[in-house]
Amino acid sequence: MTLTFIVDRAETDQRRRDAALRELSFGAAPTDHMITIEYHVDRGWHEARVRPYGPFEVVPTSRALHYGQGIFEGMKIFGTEEGGAVAFRPDLHAARFRRSAERMAMPPLPAELFIEALEMFASVDGDWLPSGRGTSLYMRPFMFGTEETLGFRPARQFRFCLFGTPAGSYYDESVGSLSVWVSHEHVRAAPGGTGAAKCVGNYGGSLLAHTRAVAEGCDQVLWLDAHDRAYVEELGGMNVFCVVVEDGETVLRTPPASDTILNGVTRRSVIELAGDLGLRVVEDRLAIADLHEMAQDGRLREMFACGTAAGVAAIGRIKDGEHDTRIGGERTPGAVTSALRERLLDVQHGRVASRMAWLRPLNAGRTR
């Protein structure tokens, strides 16, 4: 499916762009344009636009505001050494966006339209792509229900929107590793619920525990399963991996994808890249009690989180009631975490010939 985009060009403020590219503060400086595509149950997808970034009108009855019919994605465009621009695994993001829509009784956007929107965006704002390893243009596609009635049923009308913002390298040696706080009171997702969808409610429901984690001096919540409150699931916006020594072999362990975990594109990529590095990956339940024990007896060598925004980031501490478990000693990130982080960045910047299929070249030559 293709649509003809109506293009309404914004005035470019070069000083604003230069400042944004200098500061690279995550999410703070949207580029000049955004994409919108409308949906109506009787008309299907229509009215695709490239327009200046800015507010749009939302009716007070908008389903997203009342019943949470809202989903989003987070993905990145990277620069290559040759000066090109590539989207990292946009096909997987398009597919997850469709799965999220289906779970939320929203119309799944055809993958070709998702990619076209990305291409249109890159063609108008590609010069917002920063240069430098680990830097990127972070893209935020989202969709929400809009409709002029309030009855409790799925909306008949939706808007898709995509905007982008230049992003710096999240990982900073001076910041060190992440510390995580285990939530026992609240859960993020339950079996049969929406945990595997990237829907707005999952994040709204996580914020209270997040503020507790921060009050406890930690960076993020480490969520446990809803049923037993015993098994590690993920962080609020990242999947987790442990580097464990089992019978003399270094193994990567991560909770299996399920309907209570967001199956990250980075998670999947790390699993595949671990194979390149000769590491065996075990997708199995991880009891939090075992993690504390394995950290104590030295079997848990490293732990890391991964996601689009941060890439691969070491976890150095788990705060959990009376446990204050340190992982990795002085050397965080550990060797496996560092190797995977660097390998992923190499792939993302187009430096690994065998993984070029993960990248979609975009017509967005950098002007700087």
Give me 336's structure tokens: 């496996």
From 18-26, 168-176, 237-245, 293-301, span contacting ligand PMP (CB under 6 A): 237-245
Say whether residue 262 binds ligand PMP (CB under 6 A).
yes
Say whether residue 126 binds ligand PMP (CB under 6 A).
no
Tokens 């525990």 identify what position?
209
Letters for 282-321 (x = contact with ligand PMP by CB under 6 A, - = none) are -------------------------xx-------------
What is the distance in angstroms between the CA of the first residue and the CA of the last residue of the chain? 34
Closer residue to ligand PMP in complex, CB, 189/288: 189
From 8-16, 101-109, 263-271, 345-353, span contacting ligand PMP (CB under 6 A): 263-271
Give the relative orientation of helices 265-276 and 335-348 as an angle to the nearest 10 degrees.
110
Interface with ligand PMP (CB under 6 A), residue from 126, 141, 237, 350: 237
DSSP 177: -
From 5-13, 52-60, 175-183, 259-267, span contacting ligand PMP (CB under 6 A): 259-267
CB of 348 to ligand PMP, least distance (A): 12
Q: What residues numbered 2-31 form the site for ligand PMP, per CB under 6 A?
A: none
Angle at alpha carbon of residue 355, lines to 351 and 361, rounded to 5° = 75
Other C-beta atoms within 10 Å of 306: how many?
A: 28
C-alpha torsion sign, points 349, 353, 354, 360: positive
Classify the phi-psi angles of 84: left when phi > 0, otherwise alpha if psi is within -120 to 50, otherwise beta: beta
Letters for 72-91 (x = contact with ligand PMP by CB under 6 A, - = none) are --x-----------------
CA–CA distance, 363 with 77 (Å, rounded to integer): 11
CB of 220 to ligand PMP, least distance (A): 10
Number of residues that bind ligand PMP (CB under 6 A): 14
Q: Which amino acid is at 360?
A: R
Residue (of 303, 368, 355) closest to 329 by Cα position: 303
Closer residue to ligand PMP in complex, CB, 99/323: 99
Q: What residues numbered 149-188 form the site for ligand PMP, per CB under 6 A?
A: none
CB of 308 to ligand PMP, least distance (A): 3
Residue (of 37, 28, 32) closest to 13 by Cα position: 32
Interface with ligand PMP (CB under 6 A), residue from 234, 290, 302, 320: 234
CA–CA distance, 26 with 30 (Å, rounded to integer): 10
Q: What residues numbered 193-232 form the site for ligand PMP, per CB under 6 A?
A: 198
Angle at alpha carbon of residue 164, lines to 197 and 333, rounded to 5° = 70
Interface with ligand PMP (CB under 6 A), residue from 134, 164, 264, 316: 264
Strand partners, 304: 241, 314
Other C-beta atoms within 10 Å of 367: how many?
A: 9
Say whether residue 265 binds ligand PMP (CB under 6 A).
yes
Binding site for ligand PMP (CB under 6 A): 74, 198, 234, 236-239, 262, 264-267, 307-308
